[in-house]
């Protein structure tokens, strides 16, 4: 499994350590409350999708996040909190780091399927 840590600079070039500017769940919820709930895929769809076991469901959740108006805030907060698992801001987290994709359960095949 390949894991990566995203270091995301802020869009305005400022430091993320300015008081009151830390990514937090409270700030995310406040910002999400300002947006129409139908535009937030994690609230308009089944929330279990963002913590699914199936690789195809995880990919669907990641795809739904791409158009979310609070995606970058969600991702920044998840990186800061080192979320243990789930899809946050369009990225899959496992044990606090971003992984490119979820593998199905079980052992990989010894030979590639034709």
pLDDT digits (tens, 9 = 90+) for 2-52: 454 454 444 444 444 444 556 667 888 788 888 888 889 988 999 999 999
- Examine residue 20 and state whether it is found in any structural domain, yes or no: no
- Examine residue 69 and state whether it is found in any structural domain, yes or no: yes
pLDDT score recorded for residue 89: 94
- Examine residue 68 and state whether it is found in any structural domain, yes or no: yes
- Examine residue 29 and state whether it is found in any structural domain, yes or no: yes
- Examine residue 62 and state whether it is found in any structural domain, yes or no: yes
In this structure, are residues 55 and 102 in contact, taking their beta carbons and an 8 Å threshold? yes
- Examine residue 73 and state whether it is found in any structural domain, yes or no: yes
Q: How many domains does the chain divide into?
A: 1
Which among 77, 72, 91 is positioned nearest to 27, based on CA atoms?
A: 77
pTM over 0.75: no
- Examine residue 52 and state whether it is found in any structural domain, yes or no: yes
Q: What is the pLDDT of residues 46-89, one digit of tens each?
A: 999 999 989 999 999 999 999 999 999 999 999 999 999 999 99
pLDDT score recorded for residue 17: 43
Domain extent for 45: 25-99
- Examine residue 12 and state whether it is found in any structural domain, yes or no: no
């Amino acid at each position: 499994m390949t894991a990566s840590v995203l270091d995301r600079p802020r869009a305005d070039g400022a430091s993320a350590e300015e008081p009151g500017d830390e990514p937090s769940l409270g700030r995310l919820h406040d910002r999400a409350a300002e947006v129409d709930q139908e535009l937030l895929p994690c609230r308009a769809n089944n929330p279990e999708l963002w913590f699914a076991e199936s690789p195809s469901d995880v990919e669907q959740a990641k795809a739904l996040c791409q158009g979310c108006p609070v995606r970058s805030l969600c991702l920044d907060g998840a990186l800061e909190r080192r979320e243990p698992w789930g899809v946050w801001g369009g990225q899959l987290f496992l044990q606090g780091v971003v992984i490119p994709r979820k593998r199905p359960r079980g052992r990989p095949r010894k030979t590639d399927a034709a």
